[in-house]
Structure 1
Amino acid sequence: MVPIDAPLIQQLPELPRGCEVTSLAMLLQSAGIKVNKLQLAKEIKKDPTPYQGKDGHIFFGNPNTGFVGSMDDKAKAGFGVYHGPIFQLAKHYLPQAVDLTGSSFARVEEQLTKGRAVWVITSINFEKVPENLWVTWRTPIGKIRVTKKEHSVLLTGYDSRYVYINDPLSPVKNKKVLKKDFIAAWQQFGSQAVSYR
Protein backbone atom coordinates (compact mmCIF):
# COMPACT_ATOMS: atom_id res chain seq x y z
CA MET A 1 0.00 0.00 0.00
CA VAL A 2 1.08 3.61 -0.55
CA PRO A 3 1.83 5.17 2.87
CA ILE A 4 -0.69 7.71 4.18
CA ASP A 5 0.30 11.32 3.63
CA ALA A 6 0.17 12.36 7.30
CA PRO A 7 2.05 15.43 8.53
CA LEU A 8 5.52 14.80 10.00
CA ILE A 9 6.03 16.83 13.20
CA GLN A 10 9.28 16.95 15.20
CA GLN A 11 9.10 16.80 19.00
CA LEU A 12 12.38 18.71 19.41
CA PRO A 13 13.43 21.20 20.58
CA GLU A 14 10.40 22.01 22.75
CA LEU A 15 9.41 18.52 23.92
CA PRO A 16 12.41 16.21 24.51
CA ARG A 17 10.02 13.67 26.11
CA GLY A 18 6.97 14.56 24.07
CA CYS A 19 6.93 11.76 21.48
CA GLU A 20 3.43 10.59 22.51
CA VAL A 21 1.69 13.99 22.20
CA THR A 22 3.68 14.82 19.03
CA SER A 23 2.59 11.54 17.42
CA LEU A 24 -0.98 12.30 18.56
CA ALA A 25 -0.76 15.74 16.90
CA MET A 26 0.23 13.98 13.65
CA LEU A 27 -2.73 11.58 13.98
CA LEU A 28 -5.23 14.36 14.68
CA GLN A 29 -3.90 16.60 11.91
CA SER A 30 -4.06 13.68 9.46
CA ALA A 31 -7.76 13.39 10.43
CA GLY A 32 -8.26 17.09 9.66
CA ILE A 33 -8.15 18.43 13.25
CA LYS A 34 -6.18 21.66 13.69
CA VAL A 35 -4.23 21.20 16.92
CA ASN A 36 -0.50 21.33 17.66
CA LYS A 37 1.86 19.36 19.90
CA LEU A 38 2.26 22.18 22.46
CA GLN A 39 -1.50 22.45 22.93
CA LEU A 40 -1.70 18.69 23.47
CA ALA A 41 1.31 18.79 25.82
CA LYS A 42 -0.61 21.26 27.99
CA GLU A 43 -3.83 19.25 27.91
CA ILE A 44 -2.61 15.67 28.37
CA LYS A 45 -3.51 14.28 31.80
CA LYS A 46 -0.54 14.29 34.20
CA ASP A 47 0.41 11.98 37.05
CA PRO A 48 1.97 14.46 39.53
CA THR A 49 3.70 11.78 41.67
CA PRO A 50 7.27 13.02 42.31
CA TYR A 51 10.27 10.80 41.56
CA GLN A 52 11.77 9.21 44.64
CA GLY A 53 14.50 6.62 45.05
CA LYS A 54 14.35 4.96 48.47
CA ASP A 55 15.88 1.72 49.82
CA GLY A 56 16.72 0.56 46.29
CA HIS A 57 13.15 1.14 45.07
CA ILE A 58 11.84 3.74 42.65
CA PHE A 59 8.58 5.51 43.45
CA PHE A 60 7.19 7.46 40.49
CA GLY A 61 4.04 8.11 38.47
CA ASN A 62 2.09 5.66 36.34
CA PRO A 63 1.94 6.29 32.56
CA ASN A 64 -1.50 4.64 32.49
CA THR A 65 -2.77 7.47 34.73
CA GLY A 66 -1.13 10.40 32.97
CA PHE A 67 2.16 11.81 31.74
CA VAL A 68 4.92 10.97 34.24
CA GLY A 69 7.46 13.66 35.16
CA SER A 70 8.73 16.47 32.96
CA MET A 71 8.01 16.50 29.22
CA ASP A 72 10.00 19.61 28.33
CA ASP A 73 13.02 19.52 30.67
CA LYS A 74 15.51 16.66 30.35
CA ALA A 75 17.27 17.83 33.54
CA LYS A 76 14.18 16.79 35.54
CA ALA A 77 12.97 13.23 36.04
CA GLY A 78 10.44 12.10 33.45
CA PHE A 79 9.13 9.21 31.42
CA GLY A 80 6.06 9.40 29.19
CA VAL A 81 2.40 8.42 28.89
CA TYR A 82 0.52 5.34 27.64
CA HIS A 83 -2.56 4.81 25.47
CA GLY A 84 -5.29 5.49 28.09
CA PRO A 85 -4.68 9.23 28.59
CA ILE A 86 -3.75 9.62 24.88
CA PHE A 87 -7.06 8.02 23.85
CA GLN A 88 -9.03 10.30 26.23
CA LEU A 89 -7.38 13.37 24.72
CA ALA A 90 -7.85 12.06 21.16
CA LYS A 91 -11.58 11.55 21.85
CA HIS A 92 -11.87 15.14 23.07
CA TYR A 93 -10.84 16.37 19.61
CA LEU A 94 -12.07 13.46 17.52
CA PRO A 95 -15.17 11.73 18.97
CA GLN A 96 -14.70 8.83 16.52
CA ALA A 97 -11.29 7.95 18.02
CA VAL A 98 -10.83 4.23 18.79
CA ASP A 99 -8.49 2.52 21.23
CA LEU A 100 -7.17 -0.60 19.48
CA THR A 101 -4.83 -1.53 22.34
CA GLY A 102 -4.52 -5.29 22.77
CA SER A 103 -5.65 -5.95 19.17
CA SER A 104 -3.71 -8.00 16.66
CA PHE A 105 -1.44 -6.20 14.21
CA ALA A 106 -3.90 -7.29 11.50
CA ARG A 107 -6.44 -4.85 13.05
CA VAL A 108 -3.85 -2.09 12.80
CA GLU A 109 -3.21 -3.00 9.15
CA GLU A 110 -6.98 -2.79 8.47
CA GLN A 111 -6.95 0.81 9.72
CA LEU A 112 -3.97 1.67 7.53
CA THR A 113 -5.61 0.04 4.50
CA LYS A 114 -8.63 2.32 5.11
CA GLY A 115 -6.29 5.34 4.98
CA ARG A 116 -6.29 6.00 8.73
CA ALA A 117 -2.95 6.47 10.46
CA VAL A 118 -2.37 4.73 13.82
CA TRP A 119 -0.65 6.10 16.95
CA VAL A 120 1.48 3.44 18.65
CA ILE A 121 3.99 2.83 21.44
CA THR A 122 7.14 0.97 20.44
CA SER A 123 10.86 1.10 21.29
CA ILE A 124 13.31 3.83 20.31
CA ASN A 125 15.13 1.52 17.84
CA PHE A 126 11.97 -0.38 16.70
CA GLU A 127 13.07 -3.75 18.02
CA LYS A 128 12.53 -5.71 21.22
CA VAL A 129 14.11 -4.17 24.33
CA PRO A 130 16.44 -6.56 26.22
CA GLU A 131 15.21 -7.68 29.67
CA ASN A 132 18.10 -5.94 31.48
CA LEU A 133 16.85 -2.53 30.29
CA TRP A 134 13.49 -2.84 32.08
CA VAL A 135 12.92 -1.67 35.66
CA THR A 136 10.01 -2.00 38.07
CA TRP A 137 8.61 1.14 39.73
CA ARG A 138 6.18 1.49 42.56
CA THR A 139 3.35 3.85 41.62
CA PRO A 140 0.24 5.09 43.48
CA ILE A 141 -1.79 2.35 41.73
CA GLY A 142 0.69 -0.52 42.04
CA LYS A 143 3.90 -1.72 40.44
CA ILE A 144 4.72 -1.23 36.77
CA ARG A 145 7.57 -2.45 34.54
CA VAL A 146 8.98 0.27 32.31
CA THR A 147 11.98 0.99 30.11
CA LYS A 148 13.56 4.28 29.10
CA LYS A 149 13.69 2.84 25.56
CA GLU A 150 9.95 3.54 25.14
CA HIS A 151 8.97 5.66 22.11
CA SER A 152 5.82 6.67 20.25
CA VAL A 153 5.40 7.04 16.47
CA LEU A 154 2.64 7.32 13.88
CA LEU A 155 2.17 4.30 11.62
CA THR A 156 1.40 5.40 8.06
CA GLY A 157 1.64 2.18 6.05
CA TYR A 158 2.90 -1.38 5.67
CA ASP A 159 3.83 -4.03 3.13
CA SER A 160 4.96 -7.63 3.51
CA ARG A 161 8.41 -6.71 4.91
CA TYR A 162 8.19 -3.18 6.26
CA VAL A 163 6.07 -0.74 8.20
CA TYR A 164 6.19 2.96 7.39
CA ILE A 165 6.26 5.51 10.18
CA ASN A 166 6.39 9.20 10.92
CA ASP A 167 8.86 9.33 13.80
CA PRO A 168 8.84 12.58 15.85
CA LEU A 169 12.64 12.19 16.23
CA SER A 170 13.38 11.74 12.51
CA PRO A 171 13.16 14.19 9.59
CA VAL A 172 12.30 11.31 7.22
CA LYS A 173 8.62 11.07 6.30
CA ASN A 174 7.19 7.53 5.98
CA LYS A 175 10.47 6.06 7.22
CA LYS A 176 10.62 2.31 6.57
CA VAL A 177 11.36 -0.08 9.40
CA LEU A 178 11.55 -3.90 9.43
CA LYS A 179 8.04 -5.12 10.18
CA LYS A 180 8.95 -8.28 12.13
CA ASP A 181 11.12 -6.35 14.63
CA PHE A 182 8.67 -3.47 14.88
CA ILE A 183 5.74 -5.76 15.73
CA ALA A 184 7.83 -7.61 18.37
CA ALA A 185 8.64 -4.28 20.07
CA TRP A 186 5.04 -3.05 19.81
CA GLN A 187 3.75 -6.25 21.42
CA GLN A 188 6.35 -5.96 24.19
CA PHE A 189 4.70 -2.66 25.18
CA GLY A 190 1.24 -4.22 25.31
CA SER A 191 0.17 -3.62 21.67
CA GLN A 192 -0.87 -0.02 22.36
CA ALA A 193 -2.63 1.64 19.42
CA VAL A 194 -5.05 4.55 18.90
CA SER A 195 -6.76 5.50 15.64
CA TYR A 196 -10.24 6.59 14.52
CA ARG A 197 -13.34 5.37 12.69
Structure 2
Amino acid sequence: MKKNRRNQRGRILQVIIALLLIVLAGIIVIRLMDTEEQETFLSETHTSGTNGIAANQSPAPTPTPKPKQGTVIVSVMEEATGLPVVGAEVSLTSLGAVEAQEKIVTGADGTAKSGLLNYGDSYVISLTGAASAYSLDGNEIPVTIEAPTQKAEMSLSLKEHVKEISRAEDGTVTISKVYMDIPVIMQKPELPNGCEITSLTAVLNYYGYTADKLDMADNYLPKEGWTRKDGKLYGANPDKAYAGDPRLQPGGFFSFAPPIIAAAESYIADNGGSHTATDMTGSTREEIVEKLMQGIPVVAWTTLDLSAPKIGYSWRFHDTGELFNAPINLHVVVLNGYDADSGTLHVMNPLVGQVTYSADAFFKSYELMGSHALIVEP
Protein backbone atom coordinates (compact mmCIF):
# COMPACT_ATOMS: atom_id res chain seq x y z
CA MET A 1 0.00 0.00 0.00
CA LYS A 2 2.79 2.37 0.91
CA LYS A 3 4.60 1.49 -2.25
CA ASN A 4 1.62 2.42 -4.36
CA ARG A 5 1.40 5.81 -2.67
CA ARG A 6 5.06 6.54 -3.32
CA ASN A 7 4.62 5.62 -6.96
CA GLN A 8 1.61 7.85 -7.21
CA ARG A 9 3.46 10.85 -5.70
CA GLY A 10 6.35 10.23 -8.07
CA ARG A 11 4.11 10.34 -11.11
CA ILE A 12 2.50 13.54 -9.89
CA LEU A 13 5.91 15.11 -9.38
CA GLN A 14 6.94 14.10 -12.90
CA VAL A 15 3.81 15.67 -14.32
CA ILE A 16 4.47 18.90 -12.43
CA ILE A 17 8.07 18.96 -13.59
CA ALA A 18 6.98 18.35 -17.16
CA LEU A 19 4.46 21.15 -16.98
CA LEU A 20 7.08 23.50 -15.58
CA LEU A 21 9.47 22.58 -18.40
CA ILE A 22 6.75 23.25 -20.96
CA VAL A 23 5.98 26.68 -19.42
CA LEU A 24 9.69 27.52 -19.28
CA ALA A 25 10.15 26.56 -22.92
CA GLY A 26 7.19 28.75 -23.95
CA ILE A 27 8.64 31.73 -22.13
CA ILE A 28 12.00 31.23 -23.86
CA VAL A 29 10.34 31.02 -27.29
CA ILE A 30 8.29 34.19 -26.69
CA ARG A 31 11.36 36.11 -25.63
CA LEU A 32 13.31 34.94 -28.66
CA MET A 33 10.47 36.08 -30.96
CA ASP A 34 10.36 39.52 -29.27
CA THR A 35 14.11 39.90 -29.73
CA GLU A 36 13.90 39.07 -33.45
CA GLU A 37 11.06 41.58 -34.00
CA GLN A 38 13.00 44.31 -32.23
CA GLU A 39 16.10 43.60 -34.31
CA THR A 40 14.03 43.65 -37.51
CA PHE A 41 12.37 46.94 -36.49
CA LEU A 42 15.70 48.55 -35.66
CA SER A 43 17.19 47.33 -38.93
CA GLU A 44 14.32 48.78 -40.97
CA THR A 45 14.49 52.03 -39.03
CA HIS A 46 18.20 52.37 -39.69
CA THR A 47 17.70 51.63 -43.40
CA SER A 48 14.85 54.12 -43.84
CA GLY A 49 16.73 57.00 -42.18
CA THR A 50 13.50 58.50 -40.85
CA ASN A 51 14.48 58.65 -37.17
CA GLY A 52 12.25 55.87 -35.95
CA ILE A 53 9.50 56.08 -38.63
CA ALA A 54 8.99 53.22 -41.12
CA ALA A 55 10.16 53.80 -44.69
CA ASN A 56 6.66 53.63 -46.08
CA GLN A 57 5.37 56.34 -43.74
CA SER A 58 5.68 60.18 -44.00
CA PRO A 59 6.84 62.23 -41.02
CA ALA A 60 4.15 64.27 -39.34
CA PRO A 61 4.38 67.92 -40.54
CA THR A 62 5.63 70.50 -38.08
CA PRO A 63 3.05 73.28 -37.82
CA THR A 64 4.38 76.67 -39.07
CA PRO A 65 3.60 79.50 -36.71
CA LYS A 66 1.30 82.08 -38.33
CA PRO A 67 2.99 85.52 -38.63
CA LYS A 68 1.42 88.49 -36.92
CA GLN A 69 -0.30 90.78 -39.37
CA GLY A 70 -1.90 94.20 -39.38
CA THR A 71 -3.57 96.70 -41.69
CA VAL A 72 -3.08 100.37 -42.52
CA ILE A 73 -5.98 102.81 -42.78
CA VAL A 74 -5.06 105.90 -44.80
CA SER A 75 -7.11 109.11 -44.52
CA VAL A 76 -6.81 111.68 -47.33
CA MET A 77 -8.19 115.14 -46.67
CA GLU A 78 -8.30 118.40 -48.60
CA GLU A 79 -5.68 120.70 -47.11
CA ALA A 80 -7.64 123.95 -47.27
CA THR A 81 -11.02 122.66 -46.07
CA GLY A 82 -10.32 119.42 -44.21
CA LEU A 83 -12.99 117.69 -46.29
CA PRO A 84 -12.43 114.07 -47.39
CA VAL A 85 -10.92 113.45 -50.81
CA VAL A 86 -12.89 110.81 -52.67
CA GLY A 87 -11.26 108.53 -55.24
CA ALA A 88 -7.64 109.20 -54.28
CA GLU A 89 -5.31 106.32 -55.21
CA VAL A 90 -2.92 105.31 -52.43
CA SER A 91 0.06 103.04 -53.19
CA LEU A 92 1.96 100.91 -50.66
CA THR A 93 5.47 100.09 -51.85
CA SER A 94 7.89 97.86 -49.96
CA LEU A 95 10.97 99.74 -48.83
CA GLY A 96 13.54 99.58 -51.64
CA ALA A 97 11.06 98.24 -54.22
CA VAL A 98 10.00 99.97 -57.42
CA GLU A 99 6.54 98.54 -58.05
CA ALA A 100 3.73 99.12 -55.58
CA GLN A 101 2.71 96.03 -53.62
CA GLU A 102 -0.83 97.24 -53.17
CA LYS A 103 -3.02 100.10 -54.45
CA ILE A 104 -6.14 101.18 -52.58
CA VAL A 105 -8.69 103.93 -53.30
CA THR A 106 -10.39 106.24 -50.83
CA GLY A 107 -14.15 106.05 -50.42
CA ALA A 108 -16.76 108.65 -49.54
CA ASP A 109 -15.20 109.21 -46.10
CA GLY A 110 -11.75 109.81 -47.59
CA THR A 111 -10.26 106.61 -46.14
CA ALA A 112 -8.79 103.47 -47.70
CA LYS A 113 -7.81 100.24 -45.90
CA SER A 114 -4.96 97.96 -46.91
CA GLY A 115 -4.94 94.17 -46.87
CA LEU A 116 -3.11 92.18 -44.18
CA LEU A 117 0.60 93.05 -43.93
CA ASN A 118 3.26 91.22 -41.90
CA TYR A 119 4.59 92.74 -38.71
CA GLY A 120 8.04 94.25 -39.15
CA ASP A 121 7.63 94.95 -42.89
CA SER A 122 8.27 98.56 -43.93
CA TYR A 123 6.47 100.46 -46.68
CA VAL A 124 6.29 103.88 -48.31
CA ILE A 125 2.72 105.17 -48.56
CA SER A 126 2.27 107.58 -51.46
CA LEU A 127 -0.57 109.33 -53.24
CA THR A 128 -0.43 108.25 -56.88
CA GLY A 129 -3.79 109.38 -58.20
CA ALA A 130 -6.54 111.89 -57.55
CA ALA A 131 -8.97 114.20 -59.32
CA SER A 132 -7.22 116.55 -61.75
CA ALA A 133 -7.82 119.52 -59.42
CA TYR A 134 -5.28 118.20 -56.90
CA SER A 135 -1.49 118.30 -56.84
CA LEU A 136 0.24 115.00 -55.96
CA ASP A 137 3.69 116.47 -55.32
CA GLY A 138 5.52 115.41 -52.15
CA ASN A 139 2.91 113.11 -50.63
CA GLU A 140 4.86 110.19 -49.12
CA ILE A 141 4.85 108.62 -45.64
CA PRO A 142 7.09 105.75 -44.39
CA VAL A 143 5.42 103.15 -42.16
CA THR A 144 6.47 99.91 -40.41
CA ILE A 145 3.75 97.40 -39.52
CA GLU A 146 3.71 96.90 -35.77
CA ALA A 147 0.05 96.91 -34.69
CA PRO A 148 -3.21 95.24 -35.76
CA THR A 149 -4.46 98.58 -37.14
CA GLN A 150 -2.33 101.59 -37.96
CA LYS A 151 -3.52 104.96 -39.22
CA ALA A 152 -1.85 107.40 -41.61
CA GLU A 153 -3.09 110.86 -42.53
CA MET A 154 -2.35 112.59 -45.83
CA SER A 155 -3.55 115.81 -47.42
CA LEU A 156 -3.97 117.16 -50.93
CA SER A 157 -3.89 120.78 -52.04
CA LEU A 158 -5.36 122.27 -55.19
CA LYS A 159 -3.02 122.87 -58.10
CA GLU A 160 -1.76 126.43 -58.29
CA HIS A 161 -3.88 127.35 -61.30
CA VAL A 162 -7.09 125.88 -59.84
CA LYS A 163 -9.01 128.63 -58.06
CA GLU A 164 -12.40 127.04 -57.45
CA ILE A 165 -13.91 123.55 -57.52
CA SER A 166 -17.46 122.23 -57.33
CA ARG A 167 -18.31 119.23 -55.14
CA ALA A 168 -21.04 116.72 -56.01
CA GLU A 169 -23.21 114.93 -53.42
CA ASP A 170 -20.99 111.85 -53.62
CA GLY A 171 -17.92 113.95 -52.76
CA THR A 172 -16.33 113.96 -56.22
CA VAL A 173 -14.97 117.29 -57.43
CA THR A 174 -14.69 119.08 -60.75
CA ILE A 175 -12.72 122.23 -61.60
CA SER A 176 -14.93 125.29 -62.03
CA LYS A 177 -12.39 128.13 -62.23
CA VAL A 178 -8.75 128.34 -63.33
CA TYR A 179 -6.35 131.23 -63.66
CA MET A 180 -2.68 131.39 -64.70
CA ASP A 181 -0.70 134.47 -63.73
CA ILE A 182 0.66 135.30 -67.16
CA PRO A 183 2.89 138.40 -67.15
CA VAL A 184 1.30 141.34 -68.94
CA ILE A 185 3.53 142.39 -71.87
CA MET A 186 2.36 145.19 -74.15
CA GLN A 187 3.28 145.04 -77.83
CA LYS A 188 3.35 148.82 -78.35
CA PRO A 189 5.09 151.06 -78.95
CA GLU A 190 7.95 148.93 -80.31
CA LEU A 191 5.87 146.25 -82.05
CA PRO A 192 2.69 147.86 -83.40
CA ASN A 193 1.95 144.70 -85.41
CA GLY A 194 3.61 142.18 -83.11
CA CYS A 195 0.72 140.69 -81.14
CA GLU A 196 1.71 137.11 -82.05
CA ILE A 197 5.35 137.26 -80.92
CA THR A 198 4.45 139.37 -77.85
CA SER A 199 1.88 136.78 -76.76
CA LEU A 200 4.45 134.01 -77.16
CA THR A 201 6.98 136.03 -75.13
CA ALA A 202 4.48 136.31 -72.26
CA VAL A 203 3.87 132.54 -72.27
CA LEU A 204 7.60 131.74 -72.29
CA ASN A 205 8.16 134.03 -69.32
CA TYR A 206 5.26 132.39 -67.48
CA TYR A 207 7.28 129.16 -67.67
CA GLY A 208 10.34 130.84 -66.18
CA TYR A 209 12.26 132.00 -69.25
CA THR A 210 13.51 135.57 -69.60
CA ALA A 211 12.47 136.18 -73.19
CA ASP A 212 12.41 139.70 -74.61
CA LYS A 213 9.76 140.61 -77.17
CA LEU A 214 12.19 142.57 -79.36
CA ASP A 215 14.79 139.81 -79.32
CA MET A 216 12.06 137.33 -80.21
CA ALA A 217 10.79 139.54 -83.07
CA ASP A 218 14.22 140.38 -84.49
CA ASN A 219 16.11 137.09 -84.05
CA TYR A 220 13.65 134.20 -83.72
CA LEU A 221 10.52 135.07 -85.72
CA PRO A 222 10.70 133.84 -89.36
CA LYS A 223 9.84 136.85 -91.55
CA GLU A 224 9.50 137.63 -95.24
CA GLY A 225 9.43 141.14 -96.72
CA TRP A 226 7.37 142.55 -99.55
CA THR A 227 8.13 142.74 -103.25
CA ARG A 228 6.26 144.00 -106.31
CA LYS A 229 6.36 142.41 -109.72
CA ASP A 230 4.25 143.40 -112.71
CA GLY A 231 2.16 145.61 -110.46
CA LYS A 232 1.39 142.75 -108.06
CA LEU A 233 2.31 142.64 -104.38
CA TYR A 234 4.10 139.52 -103.14
CA GLY A 235 4.51 138.54 -99.51
CA ALA A 236 4.77 135.64 -97.09
CA ASN A 237 2.48 132.69 -96.70
CA PRO A 238 1.41 133.33 -93.07
CA ASP A 239 1.60 129.59 -92.37
CA LYS A 240 5.32 129.75 -93.21
CA ALA A 241 6.55 133.20 -92.12
CA TYR A 242 5.46 136.54 -90.72
CA ALA A 243 4.36 138.86 -93.52
CA GLY A 244 6.52 141.97 -93.27
CA ASP A 245 8.08 143.24 -90.05
CA PRO A 246 6.16 143.55 -86.74
CA ARG A 247 8.15 146.70 -85.93
CA LEU A 248 6.65 148.53 -88.91
CA GLN A 249 3.38 150.42 -89.20
CA PRO A 250 2.58 150.14 -92.04
CA GLY A 251 4.69 147.28 -93.30
CA GLY A 252 3.82 144.56 -90.82
CA PHE A 253 0.86 142.24 -91.09
CA PHE A 254 0.69 138.89 -89.27
CA SER A 255 1.45 135.17 -89.25
CA PHE A 256 -0.49 132.12 -88.20
CA ALA A 257 0.73 129.51 -85.69
CA PRO A 258 3.61 127.67 -87.48
CA PRO A 259 6.08 130.62 -87.61
CA ILE A 260 5.40 131.38 -83.93
CA ILE A 261 6.00 127.72 -83.07
CA ALA A 262 9.29 127.87 -84.97
CA ALA A 263 10.31 130.94 -82.95
CA ALA A 264 9.41 129.16 -79.68
CA GLU A 265 11.33 126.03 -80.59
CA SER A 266 14.46 127.98 -81.54
CA TYR A 267 14.38 130.09 -78.39
CA ILE A 268 13.78 127.09 -76.09
CA ALA A 269 16.64 125.17 -77.73
CA ASP A 270 19.02 128.13 -77.44
CA ASN A 271 18.21 128.49 -73.76
CA GLY A 272 18.48 124.83 -72.78
CA GLY A 273 14.78 124.40 -72.13
CA SER A 274 12.68 121.25 -72.37
CA HIS A 275 9.26 122.74 -73.16
CA THR A 276 7.52 121.89 -76.41
CA ALA A 277 5.40 124.08 -78.69
CA THR A 278 2.37 122.46 -80.33
CA ASP A 279 0.07 123.68 -83.08
CA MET A 280 -3.52 123.56 -81.81
CA THR A 281 -5.04 124.95 -85.01
CA GLY A 282 -8.43 123.39 -85.63
CA SER A 283 -9.08 122.74 -81.95
CA THR A 284 -12.64 122.98 -80.67
CA ARG A 285 -13.80 125.18 -77.80
CA GLU A 286 -13.92 122.12 -75.55
CA GLU A 287 -10.35 121.13 -76.40
CA ILE A 288 -9.02 124.61 -75.65
CA VAL A 289 -10.92 124.83 -72.35
CA GLU A 290 -9.50 121.43 -71.38
CA LYS A 291 -5.97 122.79 -71.87
CA LEU A 292 -6.81 125.71 -69.61
CA MET A 293 -8.17 123.31 -67.00
CA GLN A 294 -4.83 121.50 -67.14
CA GLY A 295 -2.97 124.73 -66.41
CA ILE A 296 -1.71 125.29 -69.96
CA PRO A 297 -2.19 128.81 -71.41
CA VAL A 298 -3.32 129.00 -75.03
CA VAL A 299 -2.22 131.52 -77.67
CA ALA A 300 -5.27 132.07 -79.87
CA TRP A 301 -6.12 134.09 -83.00
CA THR A 302 -9.21 136.27 -82.91
CA THR A 303 -10.10 139.85 -83.96
CA LEU A 304 -9.50 143.21 -82.32
CA ASP A 305 -13.04 143.55 -80.97
CA LEU A 306 -14.28 139.94 -81.32
CA SER A 307 -16.22 140.93 -84.43
CA ALA A 308 -16.19 139.00 -87.67
CA PRO A 309 -12.98 139.08 -89.78
CA LYS A 310 -12.82 142.03 -92.20
CA ILE A 311 -11.06 141.27 -95.47
CA GLY A 312 -9.42 144.47 -96.67
CA TYR A 313 -6.03 143.60 -98.10
CA SER A 314 -4.43 140.98 -100.33
CA TRP A 315 -1.11 139.77 -101.74
CA ARG A 316 0.34 136.83 -103.58
CA PHE A 317 2.65 134.27 -101.96
CA HIS A 318 6.31 134.48 -102.93
CA ASP A 319 6.65 130.75 -103.55
CA THR A 320 3.41 129.83 -105.36
CA GLY A 321 1.89 133.09 -106.58
CA GLU A 322 -1.37 132.12 -104.88
CA LEU A 323 -3.60 135.10 -104.06
CA PHE A 324 -4.24 135.53 -100.35
CA ASN A 325 -7.05 137.72 -98.99
CA ALA A 326 -6.02 139.02 -95.56
CA PRO A 327 -8.21 140.18 -92.66
CA ILE A 328 -7.26 143.63 -91.44
CA ASN A 329 -8.63 143.23 -87.89
CA LEU A 330 -6.76 140.04 -86.89
CA HIS A 331 -5.43 139.95 -83.35
CA VAL A 332 -3.63 137.39 -81.15
CA VAL A 333 -4.02 137.01 -77.37
CA VAL A 334 -3.19 134.61 -74.54
CA LEU A 335 -6.04 132.73 -72.89
CA ASN A 336 -4.97 132.33 -69.25
CA GLY A 337 -8.11 131.47 -67.33
CA TYR A 338 -11.68 130.19 -67.47
CA ASP A 339 -14.70 130.45 -65.19
CA ALA A 340 -17.26 127.76 -65.94
CA ASP A 341 -19.92 129.28 -63.68
CA SER A 342 -19.89 132.70 -65.32
CA GLY A 343 -18.88 131.49 -68.80
CA THR A 344 -15.97 133.92 -69.05
CA LEU A 345 -12.39 133.73 -70.27
CA HIS A 346 -9.42 135.48 -68.70
CA VAL A 347 -7.26 136.96 -71.46
CA MET A 348 -3.84 138.66 -71.59
CA ASN A 349 -4.38 141.04 -74.48
CA PRO A 350 -1.06 142.62 -75.57
CA LEU A 351 -2.90 145.77 -76.69
CA VAL A 352 -4.90 146.47 -73.50
CA GLY A 353 -3.58 144.18 -70.74
CA GLN A 354 -5.50 141.65 -68.62
CA VAL A 355 -9.20 141.45 -69.52
CA THR A 356 -12.16 139.08 -69.40
CA TYR A 357 -14.32 138.13 -72.35
CA SER A 358 -17.53 136.22 -72.78
CA ALA A 359 -16.47 132.72 -73.77
CA ASP A 360 -19.33 132.52 -76.26
CA ALA A 361 -18.30 135.74 -78.00
CA PHE A 362 -14.62 134.89 -78.03
CA PHE A 363 -15.00 131.40 -79.45
CA LYS A 364 -17.36 132.64 -82.14
CA SER A 365 -14.68 135.11 -83.28
CA TYR A 366 -11.97 132.42 -82.93
CA GLU A 367 -13.87 130.06 -85.18
CA LEU A 368 -14.64 132.74 -87.80
CA MET A 369 -10.93 133.58 -87.92
CA GLY A 370 -10.14 129.96 -88.75
CA SER A 371 -9.52 128.38 -85.31
CA HIS A 372 -5.79 129.13 -85.14
CA ALA A 373 -4.06 128.38 -81.82
CA LEU A 374 -0.90 127.03 -80.21
CA ILE A 375 0.40 126.01 -76.80
CA VAL A 376 3.73 125.73 -75.06
CA GLU A 377 3.80 123.04 -72.39
CA PRO A 378 6.29 121.25 -70.13
- Normalising by structure 2, we get a TM-score of 0.47
Identify the match of residue 88 of structure 1 among 262, 274, 278: 262
**Contact 1:51-1:77 at 8 Å conserved across structures:** no
Q: 2:365 maps to which residue?
A: 185
- Indicate how the Cα distance of structure 1 residues 13 and 136 shifts in structure 2: closer, same or farther if over 3 A, else same: closer
Partner SS, residue 2 of structure 1: strand
Q: Distance in 2 between matches of 1:51 and 1:184?
A: 36
Larger Rg over CA atoms: 2
Shift of 1:127: 2.8
Q: 1:18 maps to which residue?
A: 194
- Indicate how the Cα distance of structure 1 residues 102 and 53 shifts in structure 2: closer, same or farther if over 3 A, else same: farther
Q: Deviations over 1:68-125 (max 9, x none)?
A: 1131121x42211110111112223154221111111211111111111111111011
Structure 2, unpaired ranges of 5+: 1-176, 269-273
Q: 2:351 maps to which residue?
A: 169
Q: Deviations over 1:121-164 (max 9, x none)?
A: 1101123225xx35443212322231110011000112342211
Greater relative CO, 1 or 2 (CA 8 Å, sep 6+): 1
Identify the match of residue 155 of structure 1 among 327, 335, 349: 335
**Contact 2:178-2:293 at 8 Å conserved across structures:** no
Q: Distance in 1 between matches of 2:230 and 2:367?
A: 29
> Which letter maps to 1:34?
T
Query: Number of residues paired by the alignment?
Result: 190
- Indicate how the Cα distance of structure 1 residues 2 and 147 shifts in structure 2: closer, same or farther if over 3 A, else same: same
- Indicate how the Cα distance of structure 1 residues 12 and 107 shifts in structure 2: closer, same or farther if over 3 A, else same: same
> Which protein is richer in strand relative to its size?
2
- Indicate how the Cα distance of structure 1 residues 176 and 139 shifts in structure 2: closer, same or farther if over 3 A, else same: same
- Indicate how the Cα distance of structure 1 residues 123 and 102 shifts in structure 2: closer, same or farther if over 3 A, else same: same
- Normalising by structure 1, we get a TM-score of 0.87
Structure 1, unpaired ranges of 5+: none
Percent of residue pairs identical: 28
Q: Distance in 2 between matches of 1:62 and 1:37?
A: 22
1:66 aligns to 2:66 (yes or no): no
Q: Distance in 1 between matches of 2:257 and 2:230?
A: 26
What do you get for the CA RMSD once the two structures are aligned?
2.0
Q: 1:39 maps to which residue?
A: 215
